[in-house]
Amino acid sequence: MAPTSSEAPKVSLGLAAATIFLSAFLLFQVQPLVGKLTLPWFGGSAGVWTTCLLFFQMLLLLGYLYAHLVIRHLPHRRQIQLHGSLLVLAALALPLRLHGAFKPSGTGDPVLQLLALLATTVGLPYLLLSTTGPLVQAWVARKGHVPYRLFALSNAASMLALLSYPLLVEPWVSLKVQSWGWSAGFLLFAALILGTAFRSHPDPAIAASEEPAQVGPSPATKALWILLAAVPSVLLMAVTSHLSTNVAPIPFLWVLPLTLYLLTFILCFEADRWYHRGVFLGLLPLALAAMTFFLTPGYRHLAVQLQILVFAGGLFIGCMVAHGELARLRPHPHFLTGFYLRLSLGGALGGLFVAWVAPRIFRSYLELPLGLAACAAAALLTLSRDPGPLKQLRLRAVQALLLVLILGIGAHTLYLEFSRDGIVLAQGRNFYGTLSVFDDEEHLWRTLAHGTITHGGQFLDPAKARKPVTYYSPDSGVGLALASLPQGPRKVGVVGLGTGSLAAYGRLGDVIRYYDINPLVEDYARRYFSFLKDSSAQVEVVMGDARLSLEREAPQGYDLLAIDAFSSDAIPVHLLTREAFAVYFRHLRPGGILAVHVSNRYLNLHPVVKAAADHFQRTARVVDTDSDEATGAYGSTWLLLTTDRPFFDQPAFQNNSDVSKLEGPALAWTDDFSNLFRILK
């Protein structure tokens, strides 16, 4: 006699839980790993991480679609055969490594190139990992288990992976070892999921007796699933871009929003006790209003800690509302794969909007205020369909607040797009961020800004327009170095174009060669600033990532090479590794000067440059400059490196510190290992 449902042997939840935990851990451990692998090829901008998130969301959607289709249309034995075959193919693609065919050449859309590179690097393994949650939950649901707590376990593993990477993995383990370790973890996962699959064969008698006689979710409910998944996805990516570009551009802030996003999934799907609808719906208008307030130009420069608290807290509350409502709307386990498929579709649509659509239709970062308005609208729609236990008076108050917020955020969005401090001459946006050119009200000064960071300026008075200013004033490190070079024609290389201020030092017979990855920078430098056209030197601009361009070129014999490539307020890591310094020194003439701009509000880059000076046996000096509004000089710090020790005996450098005498140990970075935690100020 066939066993009854209560007597049937059930698949071990321990094995299923271990499989889901490991798959989710690997899914989110590989995201920062692959992001770090690909950053050097695409300029180190925040757009790389946003595009990576889009890629992972799209693959998650494909993985959930795969799980939905195989559960619905294939018998269990065929599921095992198909999945096993794909696991073997994925194993053959290991270990993780970048494929040179997709190395950027300075042309083409970086988004498409990056997506292709990610697909060839980690595509199939990541796709199979992403199928695990819905597949295993569907298998255990057919054995009589309620599977949704496994979804909370999956998100807990994801959050653990994200937190452990910057704290335990990145500071101690090289990229090569990380790649091999992750690949070994994938092989263990393959064994676990095949074991789970073999132990999950459905019993026909049980399946027939447990087939739910329920009506499926309505189209309106399915559409609401998608909306409630899309809104937190937009908030996640928009808040990440805002924090890492305009608040504190350090990669740790890539992890914080994603951790909070996953935490809300854990809390909302682990048990019903965490999402108190009245509490979070009451907090939502306050959170959205506070975030909108901090987007106002006059309040963007408040304390970094306060801004991080407001945006991280607002993201948490918004995601709790969206994911809490999703948890309330979760269907019977029979419809589980369709539910997860629509959740992943919403996440992918949100990611597509932020990473692909917004940069092409907006001049500035409008996706964040629009995401705030969408969050309020989604909450309003959900309350209208299902007020739940909220009392009528409180319900009306919350609905009114949300409606006012939507209108207010809409008006604020228009203000952000069309109203700016000073007189705006140009504003544009691409993969590398938002650039703007504006004059002060008196038309005395013109500024080029990347987000909230100034990337150069110029006096508009013709009598002062040829003077090098901002970080490149005559008393800056690079200014002193140029003035101290031997007489005669000079060949100068500059990594990072900005406004082209260093061209002001050009003399007849000089050659100044710029390297920049952002085509919009060159366009603005030539159209709105006169340093390039007024220079007496021969000025050249090479487009593409500077390090890749320098690697392809024959030695240039530069008298001075200035490293001044900033992504918002931080030099991309791949431009400060030992391998990068080797490339720079290859392009210098004997005794040439390497000038590295290390001004930074958040990172102390001195130990990194000190390590390079020690390794390559260079003499180095630190040159600090104070701001001087009258001359247009900004406070800056430059580190100068050379094999020509007598160069620093000149009077210009008598009061500057020897890098070798700086306090603290040197910190060597390589392409295989770097640690940002140790240089945080």
Q: What confidence tens digit (pLDDT) does each residue in 44-91 have?
A: 666 777 788 888 989 999 999 999 899 888 898 899 999 999 999 999
641 beta partners = 594, 620
β-strand 491-495 against 433-439: which pairing, if any?
unpaired
Helices then strands, each counted (H, E), the chain: 22, 12
Q: Give the pLDDT of residue 4.
A: 40
pLDDT one-digit tens code per residue, 118-154: 998 899 999 999 999 888 888 887 766 666 778 788 8
Q: At residue 592, what are phi and psi to the nearest 5 degrees?
A: -70, 165
- Residue 72: exposure state from Cβ atoms within 10 A (0-12, 13-18, ≥19): exposed
pLDDT one-digit tens code per residue, 8-23: 444 467 888 899 999 9
**Residue 449, number of CB atoms within 10 A of its CB:** 16
Q: Give the pLDDT of residue 32.
A: 84
Query: Which tokens hold the place of 352?
Result: 């597509």
**Cis? peptide before 95, omega within 30° of 0:** yes
Q: Which CATH number fits domain 11-204: 3.40.50, 1.20.1250, 2.50.20, 1.10.357?
A: 1.20.1250
Q: Give the pLDDT of residue 130.
A: 92
CATH of domain 217-419: 1.20.1250
DSSP state of 8: S
Q: Give the pLDDT of residue 63.
A: 92
Q: Give the pLDDT of residue 346.
A: 94
What is the chain's length?
Answer: 681
Q: Positive or negative, the Cα torsion across 225, 229, 231, 234?
A: negative
Residues ≥6 apart with Cβ < 8 Å to 566: 450, 453, 455, 496, 597
Closest CA to 545 of 113, 158, 208, 22: 113
> Cβ(89)–Cβ(124) under 8 Å?
yes
Q: At residue 570, what are phi and psi to the nearest 5 degrees?
A: -135, 135
DSSP state of 452: T
Q: Give the whole-angstrom CA distance, residue 260 versus residue 429.
A: 28
Closest CA to 95 of 36, 138, 33: 33
Q: At residue 673, what are phi and psi to the nearest 5 degrees?
A: -155, 130
Q: What letter represents residue 535's amino acid?
A: S
Query: Which tokens hold the place of 419?
Result: 């109203």
Q: Give the whole-angstrom CA distance, residue 593 versus residue 587.
A: 10
Q: Give the pLDDT of residue 5.
A: 38
The alpha carbon of residue 101 and the mean position of all alpha carbons in its chain are separated, in whole angstroms, by 23
Q: Give the pLDDT of residue 235.
A: 94
Token pair 């910190």 is found at: 667
**Residue 533, number of CB atoms within 10 A of its CB:** 11
Q: For residue 8, how many C-alpha atoms fall within 13 Å in the half-sphere facing its CB?
A: 21
Closest CA to 115 of 158, 36, 58: 58
> Cβ(218)–Cβ(158) under 8 Å?
no
Domain made up of 467-679: CATH architecture: 3-Layer(aba) Sandwich (3.40)
Closest CA to 119 of 101, 146, 140, 139: 101
Q: What letter represents residue 220's amino acid?
A: A
Identical fold at 11-204 and 217-419? yes
Q: What distances in angstroms separate CA 460 from CA 25, 438, 439, 634, one per listed residue?
A: 55, 12, 9, 17
Which residue ranges of the chain lie beneath pLDDT 50? 1-11, 206, 208-210, 213
pLDDT one-digit tens code per residue, 358-382: 888 887 778 888 899 899 889 888 8
DSSP state of 453: E
Q: Give the pLDDT of residue 392.
A: 62
Give helix 76-92 / helix 46-73 axis angle, nearest 10°. 150
560 beta partners = 492, 593
Q: For residue 70, how many C-alpha atoms fall within 13 Å in the half-sphere facing its CB?
A: 23
Q: Give the pLDDT of residue 393.
A: 54
Domain boundaries, the chain: 11-204, 217-419, 467-679
78 beta partners = none
Q: Give the whole-angstrom CA distance, residue 244 versus residue 446.
A: 25
pTM for the structure as a whole: 0.80
Q: At residue 562, what are phi and psi to the nearest 5 degrees?
A: -100, 130
* Distance between start and end Cα atoms, the chain: 71
Closest CA to 49 of 99, 113, 114: 114
What 72-78 contacts at long range (C-beta under 8 Å, 24+ apart), as own/partner pairs, is 72/337, 76/197, 76/200, 76/201, 76/202, 77/201
> Cβ(471)–Cβ(482) under 8 Å?
no
Q: Give the whole-angstrom CA distance, residue 631 versus residue 106.
A: 36
Q: What letter represents residue 308's amino acid?
A: I
Q: Give the whole-angstrom CA distance, residue 573 versus residue 313.
A: 29
Token pair 């070798």 is found at: 660
Q: 3-class SS at 254?
A: helix
Per-residue b or e along 190-218, where b marks 16 or more CB atoms closer than 10 Å to that residue's CB: bebbeebbeebebbeebeeebeeeeeebe
Closest CA to 481 of 584, 592, 604: 592
Token pair 């386990």 is found at: 333
Residues ≥6 apart with Cβ < 8 Å to 673: 173, 174, 175
